[in-house]
Amino acid sequence: VDETIAELKPSVPLYCLRPKTIEATAAWFVSTFPGQVLYAVKCNPEPQILQMLWNGGIRHFDCSSLKEIELIHALLPSAKA
């Protein structure tokens, strides 16, 4: 990460995502949590993150605005919003 930042010298925030870790953690949580798992979209509505959570098995997304509902339906049509 340090090398990438030094090379790019970004002037805006830079996302450093680990897709396999996010997916594996979501899958672990879904498999061990005794109830239904819902992800609050307002926590991080970044489409790449939402897709990784979907890939990890999260199927229910808590939306607090029409914009969030539209985002989930466009990105993950089979999801429950």
Residue 36 within any structural domain of the chain: yes
In this structure, is residue 32 part of a structural domain? yes
Q: What is the number of domains present in the chain?
A: 1
Note whether residue 6 is domain-resident: no
Dihedral of CA 39/42/44/46: which sign?
Answer: positive
Query: What is the sign, positive or negative, of the torsion defined by CA atoms of 24, 36, 73, 78?
Result: positive
Dihedral (Cα; 22, 41, 74, 34), 10-degree rounding: 60
Query: Is residue 1's pLDDT more than 90?
Result: no
**Residue 9 counted as domain residue:** no
| Mean pLDDT score, 26-51 | 97
In a domain, 5, yes or no: no
Domain containing residue 40: 18-75
Predicted confidence (pLDDT) at residue 43 exceeds the cutoff of 90: yes
- Mean pLDDT across the stretch 24-39? 98
End-to-end CA distance of the chain: 34
The answer to whether residue 42 sits within a structural domain is: yes
| The model's pTM | 0.86
